[in-house]
Structure 1
């Protein structure tokens, strides 16, 4: 089931059948270099389970990002995150190393922002490690602007935001 469609991509819900691809994505040290550590296969299954709960509870989550031929590109979507004690809707994305730098994350993020606006969400943020320049460029190309710095889980993060 496609949730969102873009020029080169479609976003669809994660299923347990995606464990192999998600495990490879979230276990890749390059993809996860701005996280405390890559995720194990068990943690990747928890990631899928968390997103399935998000779909049921919020009507959104991180979705599988694939091209129109069904090739796995990564994940992108919306989740609820807490920043400075406030629940915020965040757009997030992870792209397979071989597909990075091709504009897929930006294209998917823009579709997620359209989905958010159509769903009545008035504000979306992106939480980005200060060293993650590529992710900052994606956020900016999608229309978000640096709003502030925040500390989350003991780590300084940049908060990009957009009002829809």
Structure 2
């Protein structure tokens, strides 16, 4: 993810349908901050969220990757994903999430992986289950939003 990807990321994170389980969609400046955050993660952690593109055309369809997340005082590595509304339902999030899970396990040596998902976001919960994560508990994020934690040992 680079600054040159701002148009794609701003469209993705600014889409109210993609962001319906977040407090709100992000504006262009917030999308740039998202890119900057990921670039800092790459430098500090060696990973972050990456662009998801179609192999056949190179077309941008979303982002997916690994980020540290603090939940209830414990920091775990989360697998996260966003897919353009018009590309949802084709298995892209599952394919990308499975690749990130494998990277976490096989290359990075991460021992536990989580997904923090809004309780009403059943499509994202399906992706988590298909990726091998199971419902662990319900909680709230630091911002007070309800969250369902899916987790797996790697």
Give the alignment's TM-score, normalised by structure 2.
0.97
Q: Would you identify which runs of 4 or more consecutive aligned residues in structure 1 move more than 2 Å?
A: none
Q: 1:97 aligns with which of 73, 81, 85?
A: 85
Q: 2:11 aligns with which of 24, 36, 53?
A: 24
How far the C-alpha of 1:156 sits from its partner, in A, is 1.5
Give the alignment's TM-score, normalised by structure 1.
0.91
Q: 2:27 aligns with which of 40, 43, 51?
A: 40
Unaligned runs of 5+ in 2: none
How far the C-alpha of 1:52 sits from its partner, in A, is 0.2
Q: 1:137 aligns with which of 126, 129, 152?
A: 126
Q: Is 2:102 the counterpart of 1:117?
A: no
Unaligned runs of 5+ in 1: 1-13
Q: Following the alignment from structure 1 to structure 2, what is the Cα–Cα distance between the partners of residues 155 and 35?
A: 8
1:71-107 Cα shifts (integer Å, max 9, x gaps): 0010000000001100110000000011000000000
Q: 1:85 aligns with which of 59, 68, 73?
A: 73
SS at match of 2:132: coil
How far the C-alpha of 1:155 sits from its partner, in A, is 1.5
Q: Following the alignment from structure 1 to structure 2, what is the Cα–Cα distance between the partners of residues 146 and 132?
A: 13
RMSD: 0.5
1:127-162 Cα shifts (integer Å, max 9, x gaps): 000000000000001110000011111112000001
